[in-house]
Amino acid sequence: MDFSWTPEQLALRESCRRFAEREIYPGAARRDQAGDGEFDWDAWRKTAEFGLLGFPIPEQYGGSGVDPLTLCIAMEGFGEGSGDTGFMTSVGAHMVICEIPIWEWGTEEQKRKYLPKMCTGEWVGAFALTEPNAGSDAAGIATKAEKRGDHYILNGSKTFITNGPIADVIIVMATVDRSKGARGITAFLVEKGFEGFSVARSLDKMGMRASPTGELVFEECIVPEENVLGEVGKGFAVAMSTLEWERASMLPALAGIAERRLRETIAYAKERVQFGSPIAEFQAIQHKLADMKMWLELSKLMLYKVAWMKKEGKPAQMEASIGKLFFSETNRMAALNAFQIFGGYGYMKEYPIERDVRDTMPATIGAGTSEIQRSIIARHLLK
């Protein structure tokens, strides 16, 4: 493994960072305060025009065709510049867990129909697996798909769906035969205009408020047979592959945000004077900063390794779980370290630390809880 970046990759990272610093970061606090459901379409349009939304997709479908490792460093740069976990989560949900599965599992007709519109940002994508009674137990989903002639009828509901309220196309997991467990799950491409589909409500979240999250309902929803993604009964494989991509390619953006947090915390510690000295001179503060740096660098190494394995076409399920588990848990601790260093100012909304702490909380739940990641790792160890 060689994690040294080429001049072109470094230039791309810096270009992404500068763009996001200029166009995305200034609206981060406003997006958070506006609340869920008020998506920043101007920031979305600018991000699409920059080209980020099509980075991993081949050129023949409207993208740039960058490899997973280059995508990793680009997302890191974009995250560092944007400083907005919520907005980056919506970008990632669109690009990583909707576009990429269509590219990897879709028919040629599906790719040509959906990917060009998604690369330009004209259409927004989402991925719907979680249900009110099926989260970590992905194989236990109850949304049902019944074949009737040349179409399927979907009945059920999904919850906690990132981009759900604004999505134009959604990858929906449903079962054609619940008695078969995972072998009955099938992936469907559902468009917002399909009869029987509706958004029940937008959810009001503690953090990541720039990213719309909602509950989706399927009541006798009519889905054409040609909108099956992959093969009937192979939806669980689509879901697991998608979650591996999510753990590999969405987290680098959050690592970039953590890089920004560390830089801002160091600057504050050098400026804040107590007992006649900058608090950066106090060993207790230095140890907190050292821990933040250690956690971040170790996380990056693991995330880069997963991206390299994806680039090489190697299976990376265990490694992706290790990276996701370690980063999500230490990133939350790092945000709390920064919060402690900023003291009372960290509790004030005029500083980004308050938002940052809230935004780090869901990472140990989404894309598989920390408990599930440990189970995946143990399962690989005990094969």
DSSP string, 67-106: -HHHHHHHHHHHHHHH--HHHHHHHHHHIIIIIHHHHHH-
DSSP 8-state class, residue 180: G
The tokens of 315 are what?
A: 């299976």
Can you give the pLDDT at residue 37? Answer: 56
Percent helix, strand and coil across the chain, each to the nearest 5: 60, 15, 25
Alpha-carbon distance values, 91 to 23, 37, 118 (Å): 14, 15, 11
Using the Cα atoms of residue 45, residue 49, residue 54 and residue 56 in order, give the sign of their dihedral: negative
Kindly list the structural domains of the chain, giving each domain's residue range(s) and its CATH number in brackets, ordered by start.
Answer: 7-124 (1.10.540.10), 126-237 (2.40.110.10), 239-381 (1.20.140.10)
Using the Cα atoms of residue 164, residue 165, residue 167 and residue 168 in order, give the sign of their dihedral: positive
CB 151 within 8 A of CB 222: yes
Q: Kindly name the residue from 246, 259, 319, 354 that is annotated as catalytic.
A: 246
Q: What is the pTM of this model?
A: 0.93
Helices 235-249 and 68-82, axial angle in degrees (round to 10): 60
User: Do β-strands 151-162 and 169-175 pair in parallel, antiparallel, or remain unpaired?
Assistant: unpaired
The whole-number mean pLDDT for each consecutive block of 10 residues of the chain, a chain of 383 residues, reads 84 97 95 80 97 96 93 95 95 94 96 98 96 79 95 97 97 93 94 96 93 97 97 90 78 95 97 96 98 97 90 89 95 97 94 94 89 95 92
Can you give the pLDDT at residue 140? Answer: 81
219 in catalytic set: no
How is 321-354 classified by DSSP, letter by letter?
HHHHHHHHHHHHHHHHHHHHHHGGGGGSTTSHHH
CB atoms within 10 A of CB 149: 7
**Which residues are within 8 A (CB) of 195 and not within 5 positions of it... i.e. 6 or more apart?**
220, 221, 222
